[in-house]
C-alpha cells in the first residue's frame, strides 16, 4: 500500500473509499456508522453531548486565537496566552440560555450541571496556557486548523490538524488538542485509535514537507497536561495503512447494520431511538482507569446514562398513584376502624 498524493483539500469521495478516524470510532457499532455516514436523507443528531460541544468550542476559540498570532508573522512567545475569562464568558453566552443548557446540547453524566463544565473548561484553558508558555515559545506557526488528505491506490484518508509549528532547527511538529484526558491503560481501542490518528498525521507531514524529522503530538488538557507523540517511520506508514485498508475492506462487506452496544452508548446521538435500548438492553456503566471525557465520537462511560425520559415519566406516574393510595388509606383509616 503506497501513498499516491497528499493535499489539504476534502474533495467529494465515495463513502466506500473514505477513511477518517471518526468513522473508525463510530464503526465499533454498525448502526451508529450507518446513521452517521450512510443514511439518506441524513437525520439531524437527536442531541449533542455537552463534552462534544465544549470540545468544538475550545477548538474554534484556539483556531481564531492562533490564526491571529500567525498573522503577526512572528515566533510564538509567552504573551500569546489565551484570555481564559474571555473564553468562559463566550462559552456561557454560546451555550447557556435562561440559566439552562441550550438544546440540542445535553448533559449525559448524572449529578453534573453546566457550571461543572464551565469549571472544566477553565482548567482546560489554564492547562493550555501553561503548555504554551513551556513548549511553544520560539516556534514559528506554519498552519492552523487545516484539512489533510492522503490518497493510496485503494482509499482516501481525511483528517484535520490543529496547529503545525517549525523549530529553529527546521523540525516540524503537528499538534492535536484534546479537551479530555489520556486514555488509560485498559482503553486499548481508544489508544489504538489515537495511535492511528497520529500515524496518519505523521505520514501526511512527511510527504507534505518531504522531511523525515516530523512528529505528530496529541496534547490532552483534561486534567494534568499529557502528551503522546508519533514520529514518522516506514513501520508507522506500513502499519497505519495496512490497518486502515483492512478496516475499510471489512466495513464495505457489511450488508446489515445492527446496533452493537458499547461503552460510548450514553453519548451516542441515536441512543433515544436505538433498538438495543428499546429491548431493555442497557450498556453497563463502566468506571475505567484514565477514562477520558468523550472524544467527538467515542465517549467513555464513567457514570450511568441518564434514564430515558419516557421511563422517568412512568416512574413519576407509579409513584404518584402509590402516594395517592397511601393518602386515601390514611384519611379513611378512622372511618374504617369504626366500621370493623
Long-range contacts of 284-288 (CB under 8 A, 24+ apart): 288/184, 288/186, 288/187, 288/263
271-290 residues near ligand SF4, rule: CB under 6 A:
271, 274, 276
128 part of the interface to ligand SF4, by CB under 6 A = no
At 239, list the grid cell. 502499519
**Exposure string for 1-25, b = 16+ CB within 10 A, e = fewer:** eebeebeeeeeeeeeeebbbbbbbb
301 part of the interface to ligand SF4, by CB under 6 A = no
Task: State how far Cα 37 lies from the chain centre.
Answer: 16
Residue 70 or 260 with smaller CB distance to ligand SF4: 260
Distance CA 329, CA 332 (A): 5
Paired residues of 218 in beta bridges: 176, 228
State the minimum distance, in angstroms, from the CB of residue 265 to ligand SF4: 3
182-221 residues near ligand SF4, rule: CB under 6 A:
none
29 part of the interface to ligand SF4, by CB under 6 A = yes
At 45, list the grid cell. 443528531
Residue 29 or 218 with smaller CB distance to ligand SF4: 29
Quick one: which segment of 104-112, 196-204, 255-263, 286-294 binds ligand SF4 (CB under 6 A)?
Answer: 255-263
State the minimum distance, in angstroms, from the CB of residue 279 to ligand SF4: 11
In this structure, the number of other CB atoms found within 10 A of the CB of residue 145 comes to 16
Residue 241 or 268 with smaller CB distance to ligand SF4: 268
DSSP letter at 27 equals T
6 part of the interface to ligand SF4, by CB under 6 A = no
State the minimum distance, in angstroms, from the CB of residue 50 to ligand SF4: 17
Residues that bind ligand SF4 (CB under 6 A): 29, 31-32, 259-262, 265, 268, 270-271, 274, 276
Amino acid at each position: 500500500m503506497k501513498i499516491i498524493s497528499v493535499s489539504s483539500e476534502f474533495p467529494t469521495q465515495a463513502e466506500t473509499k473514505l477513511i477518517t478516524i471518526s468513522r473508525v470510532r463510530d464503526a465499533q457499532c454498525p448502526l451508529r456508522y450507518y446513521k452517521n455516514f450512510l443514511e439518506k436523507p441524513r437525520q439531524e443528531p437527536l442531541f449533542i453531548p455537552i463534552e462534544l460541544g465544549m470540545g468544538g468550542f475550545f477548538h474554534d476559540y484556539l483556531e481564531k486565537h492562533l490564526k491571529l498570532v500567525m498573522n503577526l508573522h512572528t515566533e510564538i512567545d509567552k504573551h500569546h496566552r489565551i484570555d481564559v475569562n474571555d473564553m468562559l464568558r463566550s462559552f456561557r453566552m454560546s451555550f447557556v440560555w435562561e440559566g439552562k443548557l441550550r438544546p440540542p446540547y445535553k448533559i449525559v453524566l448524572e449529578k453534573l450541571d453546566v457550571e461543572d463544565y464551565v469549571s472544566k473548561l477553565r482548567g482546560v484553558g489554564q492547562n493550555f496556557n501553561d503548555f504554551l508558555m513551556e513548549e511553544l515559545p520560539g516556534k514559528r506557526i506554519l498552519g492552523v486548523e487545516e484539512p489533510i488528505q492522503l490518497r493510496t491506490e485503494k482509499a482516501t484518508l481525511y483528517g484535520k490538524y490543529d496547529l503545525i509549528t517549525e523549530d529553529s532547527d527546521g523540525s516540524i511538529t503537528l499538534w492535536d488538542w484534546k479537551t479530555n484526558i489520556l486514555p488509560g491503560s485498559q482503553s486499548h481501542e481508544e489508544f489504538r485509535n489515537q495511535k492511528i490518528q497520529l500515524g496518519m498525521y505523521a505520514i501526511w507531514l512527511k510527504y507534505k514537507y518531504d522531511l523525515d524529522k516530523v512528529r505528530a503530538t496529541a496534547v490532552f488538557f483534561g486534567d494534568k497536561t499529557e502528551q503522546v507523540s508519533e514520529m514518522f517511520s516506514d513501520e508507522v506508514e506500513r502499519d497505519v495503512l495496512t490497518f486502515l485498508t483492512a478496516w475499510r475492506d471489512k466495513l464495505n462487506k457489511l450488508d446489515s447494520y445492527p446496533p452493537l452496544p458499547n461503552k460510548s452508548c450514553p453519548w451516542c446521538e441515536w441512543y433515544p431511538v436505538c433498538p438495543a435500548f428499546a429491548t431493555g438492553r442497557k450498556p453497563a456503566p463502566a468506571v475505567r482507569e484514565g477514562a477520558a471525557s468523550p472524544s467527538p465520537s467515542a465517549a467513555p462511560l464513567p457514570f450511568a446514562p441518564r434514564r430515558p425520559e419516557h421511563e422517568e415519566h412512568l416512574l413519576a406516574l407509579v409513584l404518584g398513584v402509590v402516594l395517592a393510595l397511601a393518602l386515601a388509606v390514611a384519611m379513611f383509616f378512622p372511618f374504617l376502624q369504626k366500621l370493623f
